[in-house]
Amino acid sequence: MEFKNNEAIYLQIAAYVSEHILVGKWLPDQKIPSVRDLAIELQVNPNTVMRTYEHLQNREVIYNKRGIGFFVAPEGVAKVKEQRRERFLQQEMPEFFRTIFLLGIGLEELQERYQQFTKEQTETNPKTV
């Protein structure tokens, strides 16, 4: 995983875990990789992964079964969508609107490209729709 300098690593890992939950790689009540295994996979300190898991647990995306490990919360998908939607609407969408305004990209072109994108996503990832 390539980490960006403009965001804390544990938050980038949280986005990675959330993405796996959203696309259905990790299902509700399914065990997710251990702190140690994910740290090895992502080549980070286990303390960073633990911080990520605590962050996601506080947001009710995952839960801990003491002595067994971490699991996707039953409402984990809904929680991730809710949190990502709010972040997008508050932080990313204003920047997106500014960019399309400055570049003169119209709603028709956006709609065409979005429809093409969703078609491609449906064909390659039928679980995500």
Residue appearing with tokens 């696309």: 23
- Please tell me the total count of domains within the chain: 2
CB 84 within 8 A of CB 18: yes
Average per-residue pLDDT for the chain: 94
Q: How far is CA 4 from CA 95, 103, 108, 117, in A?
A: 18, 26, 33, 25
CB 56 within 8 A of CB 45: no
- List of E strands, 1-129: 62-65, 69-72
Q: Do 62 and 85 fall into the same domain?
A: no
Q: Is the pLDDT of residue 122 over 90?
A: no
Q: Which amino acid is at 47?
A: N
Q: Do 69 and 102 fall into the same domain?
A: no
What pLDDT, on the 0 to 100 scale, is given for residue 120?
A: 92
Lookup: tokens for 86: 């709010």
What pLDDT, on the 0 to 100 scale, is given for residue 113?
A: 95
1 within some domain: no
**Residues 50, 32: Cα–Cα separation, whole Å:** 13
CB 26 within 8 A of CB 20: yes
Nearest to 17 by CA among 67, 91, 84, 89: 84
Residue 124 banded pLDDT, cuts 50, 70, 90:
confident
Q: Is the pLDDT of residue 129 over 80?
A: no
Domain termination site, one of 36, 56, 76: 76
- Supply the range of the domain harboring residue 116: 79-128
pLDDT in tens, 42-99: 999 999 999 999 999 999 999 999 999 999 999 999 999 999 999 999 999 999 999 9
Q: Do 61 and 106 fall into the same domain?
A: no
The 3-state DSSP class for residue 33 equals coil
Q: Do 27 and 71 fall into the same domain?
A: yes
Q: Do 15 and 65 fall into the same domain?
A: yes
Single pTM value for the model: 0.80
Residue 128 banded pLDDT, cuts 50, 70, 90:
low
Average pLDDT of the segment spanning 26-33: 97
CB 14 within 8 A of CB 8: no
